[in-house]
Amino acid sequence: MENHSGPILLLVTDNFLRSAQCMVNGREFMQDNRDAVLPIVADGVRQDESRNAYAVPTQFERISDIIQYINYWQDQYLDLRRQKRELEDEIDEETFSDHLRSVRAISGETSEFLRLLRNTEHVTYEELEETDYEMIFRFIGDINGWEKLKKARASRVMDRVPAEAVEAASNRNSEPMDDEPPVDIQDIPGMDMLPDDPEEEIEDDGDLVPDETEEEIVSDTSYQIEEEVEEIEEEIEEHILVEDDIPAESSSGPEEIHQNGAVYATEEEEEEEDEEEELVSALDPNYILENLHDWVSGGQTEKAIAELQNALQQHPEHLAMRYQLAHLLVQHEDDFSEARSQLATLLKYDSKHTGALFLSGELSEIEEDFDEAVGFYQDVAAIDSKFPEVHYRLGLILAHQFEDTQDHAMMEFRQAIAQHPENADAHYQYAMLLNEHQKALDAAAIEFMETLRLQPNHPFAYYDLAILYHTQGNLEKAQEAYLKAKALNPEVETPENDLAFGLTAPAEPEPVAEEPVERIAVEPKSQNGVVEEHIKENQEAAITTPASPENTVEMETTEATMEKSNSELIIERDALAALKENIFRLEEMIKARDEEQEKLKQQRPGNGKTVMVTGATSGIGKATAEIFARNGFRVIITGRRSDRLDAIEKGLQDEFHTDVHSLNFDVRQVEAVENAINQLPEDWKNIDILINNAGKAKGLDPIHQGRLEHWEEMIDTNIKGLLYLTRAVSPYMVARQQGQIINVCSTAGKEVYPNGNVYCATKHAVDALTKAMRLDLHSYNIRIGQVAPAHVEETEFAEVRFDGDKERGAKVYEGFQPLTSVDVAEAIYFMATRPTHVNIQDVVMLGTQQASSTVIDRSGR
């Protein structure tokens, strides 16, 4: 199906899920075609000892159902390995090994395949029959075909109804049935595969036989209703009854007997079953891999590692779990030795596991075994030439750790750039090789400029460009690039550099003492061939020309000029040499600093967690974004003013070295909110903390004088905006069973004050919504809370309330010390960083001099 484009109907049975021919590459197929596949689930077929066929339900909704298939394939793999050892001399080695590899791959991918299948919209064969295959026709976009099929099947059923039943039905109907024209069903896809008689059944050998219990259509509708009620009652009983194989007696106590004789499980038996199911779930690879991200992002890395280790004792050949364990040991524990052990075990099972090979290469790099690292990376590239970063990593090692491998390094960087054109450092490294190794200055300049386009604040690209332009003799461009380099990286500013790029004048040479004319014949020290030739010519002229007074003066002047020119060239040459010598020193300093910053970044409490702050362009929102960024959180900031967002995003990234993503939209526009959240990159969609900060007050008028546009703006922002964001983000939290929402309320949500009518009403709504959200979401392990501050300085609150009147807004805070935006941000951060079992639901904050909205001590700060 690799080259098939269009809808795919996938018939899944128990036999399918136990067939290597069907399951090989199943996970990859489902991942690549998930949106184009409609799985149809039907019963499988097995045979008993007498070779009589019987139906086997195909189920994968419960974890216990999935486990049976995981165990089946792991048993198959172990059995095949045993056979290979025992029958080594009797089998076709190559063919058997290929089959063994396929089964091994299936055993590692079964849980993921079934998870994808379970999460893909699917339909049972019985449901298709009951709806005349409606789901299929809708899936392929042929509703007309479905209508034709329904009519055709109805027509064929009516042909078999006895004449007296038809007559009785027509007598009961007050309106005669319209005669419908005959339907041409030959053009309906798949009609030739349907039985001529819908009441016929298919035996195991595929032959059609009449149904032995064929019945006439009964017109008594009361009988049909009674039959449906009985079916519903049977379904309810089946749902609550224990399966028939529960023994009549139980060691845990007597069973409960219903008056109709049915056997029920006792409470103790149910608890035991629940505990057994929980134990199985805890060791199930599918369960562990599904929850791994939540454990790690929730700060439970030790639990994640322990769960993986326990599960691997039961499933030692589960490659995905072993790889994840190695990755966690490296990233969070710095336990390289144990990680290498896990990777070595994994590679024994699958020597071509690219993830394990690449991680092994990274460990070798860390341990500075560069020969081994190159070997691992080359293995990865040979298996999958498009594996992320493999060519880039090879290029770095070959360029900086080995001699005479620059040409190979350039080839690797070219492949890295072709694979990932946005990799700024790949362009930079390639430019360095073009410049220093190949002396292709024009090509190098182009790559340096591309580096700066992708990373405008690159610490060295402008500096390298400056040297390149100087080498080409373009002093104006060289000076311009050097100035930009200094602005980005002050460490490149040295007296030698300033001199070389013309920012300072060379020192005046020492006065030349009068010496006999014969001294002119001394060999010049300049390395510049043109200057040397010029000096020699003047020396010869001095020797052959009589030393008249005029000639002596001219000769002395020429000598002084030449010595001055020679001195300047020597200074310039030394300055350029110093530039190049300093590059390596500066690079080492920057590298060491970056490594230290990265180490500190990994240790920060917010590492790996994502927080979204609305209304982050000023005040509380901006201060909140800063405190989370400072502590290593990945921060999504939102606001209406794109210029401010861009500046804040860059500022947070530069100052705190964390990932920041800005979203420019108005919370009052529901479509804009939905689009912004839906279009987030995949790695930003798992928002751990949502801070609904966006809000405002407009006007301070009594209710009979209030402006409608002010009311609407406050209601749309303070209430609807909060609701829109919560509705867009919370489903992701519910799906992950994890998250936190903090609403920024106000003391105006706790009390009212004169002329604050509508603003107070909106904040009372926030208070009520916070309580209601807590009730709705607590069962999903989602924490809900709010902070309700009084007057807060360092915000635009009062200025916005009075339509930009800064003077009037400033008077609100005269004579007392209110809260600051940082005070509120610190309270929010405290709420967000409590242990996961702690939920702070409400924080009310006032300045010491403010007792309520209207009672304030304005005696001075």
- Which ranges of 253-405 would DSSP assign to H, the alpha helix? 267-283, 285-297, 301-314, 319-328, 336-349, 354-366, 370-383, 390-400
Write the pLDDT tens digit of every residue in 523-568.
443 344 444 444 444 444 444 444 444 444 455 555 555 554 555 5
* pLDDT 10s digits, 132-173: 888 888 888 888 888 888 888 777 655 555 555 445 544 544
- Per-residue pLDDT at 648: 92
Residue 528, pLDDT score = 41
Does residue 3 carry a pLDDT above 70?
yes
| 693 CB-contact burial (10 Å; exposed 0-12 / middle 13-18 / buried 19+) | buried
Report the SS3 class of residue 81: helix
Q: Looking at per-residue confidence, does 13 or 525 come out higher? A: 13
pLDDT of 524 reads 41
How far apart, in whole angstroms, are the C-alpha atoms of residue 626 and residue 620? 10
Q: How many residues does the chain have?
A: 861
Phi first, then psi: give them for residue 611, nearest 5 degrees.
-125, 140
* Mean pLDDT to the nearest integer, 704-714: 93
Could you report the per-residue pLDDT of 394-437, keeping only the tens digit for each? Answer: 999 999 998 889 889 999 999 999 988 989 999 999 999 999 88
User: Using 50, 70 and 90 to split pLDDT, how confident is the model at 833?
Assistant: very high
Beta bridge mates, 55: 45
**Regarding predicted confidence, which is higher, 390 or 569?**
390
pLDDT tops 70 at residue 592? no
Cα–Cα distance, 754 to 702 (Å, whole number): 7
Mean pLDDT of 7-11: 91
pLDDT digits (tens, 9 = 90+) for 354-370: 999 999 999 998 888 99
Q: How far apart are CA 602 and CA 414, in angstroms?
A: 31
Three-class DSSP category at 648: helix
Structure tokens at 554: 């001219």
pLDDT category, 74, cuts 50, 70, 90? Answer: confident
Read off the pLDDT band of 235 (50, 70, 90): very low
CA distance 639 to 359: 40
- Mean pLDDT within 435-463: 89
Distance from the Cα of residue 684 to its chain's centroid: 5
Dihedral sign of CA atoms 511, 515, 517, 522 in order: negative
587 band by pLDDT with thresholds 50, 70 and 90: low
Place of tokens 């004792």: 313
Q: What are the residue boundaries of the structural domains of the chain, listed by start?
A: 8-130, 134-199, 606-845
pLDDT on residue 201: 42
Report the Cα 426 to chain-centroid distance in Å.
23
Q: State the pLDDT confidence band at 607, using cuts at 50, 70 and 90.
A: confident
Q: Which helix (H) or strand (E) holds 537?
A: helix 529-544
Average pLDDT of the segment spanning 496-505:
81
CA distance 357 to 377: 7
pLDDT at 509 over 80: no
Q: Which stretch of 141-145, 156-160, 619-623, 850-854 has the lowest confidence by average pLDDT?
A: 156-160
**Sign of the four-CA dihedral 821, 824, 829, 830:** positive
The tokens of 496 are what?
A: 């030698």
> Which pLDDT score, from 0 to 100, does residue 573 have?
55
Q: Per-residue pLDDT averaged across 507-513, rounded?
A: 55
Per-residue pLDDT, averaged over 319-337, amounts to: 86
Average pLDDT over residues 827-843: 95
What's the topology of domain 606-845?
A: Rossmann fold (3.40.50)
Angular region, 117: left φ>0, alpha ψ -120 to 50, beta rest: alpha
What pLDDT, on the 0 to 100 scale, is given for residue 217?
36
715 in Cβ contact with 766 (< 8 Å): no
Percent of the chain having pLDDT more than 90?
34
pLDDT tens-digit map of 774-820: 999 999 999 999 999 999 987 777 677 777 777 777 778 888 899 99
**Mean pLDDT, residues 600-626 taken together:** 85
Q: Round to whole Å and give the CA distance between 489 and 19.
A: 62
What would the pLDDT profile of 637-688 be if each residue is shown by its tens digit?
Answer: 999 988 889 999 999 998 888 899 999 999 999 999 999 999 898 889 899 9
Instruction: Decide if pLDDT at 265 tops 50.
Output: no
Reported as a single tens digit per residue, the pLDDT across 171-186 is: 544 444 444 445 454 5
Residue 237 confidence (pLDDT): 46
Answer yes or no: is pLDDT of 465 > 70.
yes
Nearest by Cα to 327 from 355, 289, 365: 355
Q: What is the 3-state secondary structure (H, E, C) of 426-465?
A: HHHHHHHHHHHCCCCHHHHHHHHHHHHHHCCCCCCHHHHH
pLDDT for position 796:
74
Which of 774, 777, 750 is CA-nearest to residue 764?
Answer: 750
pLDDT tier at 446 (50, 70, 90 boundaries)? very high
Of 133, 115, 114, nearest in space to 123 by CA: 133
Residue of 77, 759, 813, 829 marked active site? 759
pLDDT on residue 432: 92
The tens digit of pLDDT for each residue in 207-233 reads 434 444 333 433 444 444 445 445 544
Write out the two tokens for 288: 């562990």
State the chain's mean pLDDT as an integer: 78
Name the phi and psi angles at 800, rounded to 5: -65, -40
C-beta contacts of 46-53 below 8 A and 24+ residues apart: 46/14, 53/204
**Which stretches of 562-695 are assigned E, i.e. beta strand?**
610-613, 634-639, 660-664, 689-692
Angle (CA) 11 16 18, round 5°: 160
**Residue 196 and residue 155 in contact, taking contact as beta carbons nearer than 8 Å:** no
Identify whether the C-beta of residue 343 lies closer than 8 Å to the C-beta of residue 325. no
Residue 759 designated active-site: yes
Nearest C-alpha neighbor of 633 from the set 304, 328, 616: 616
User: Is residue 87's pLDDT more than 80?
Assistant: no
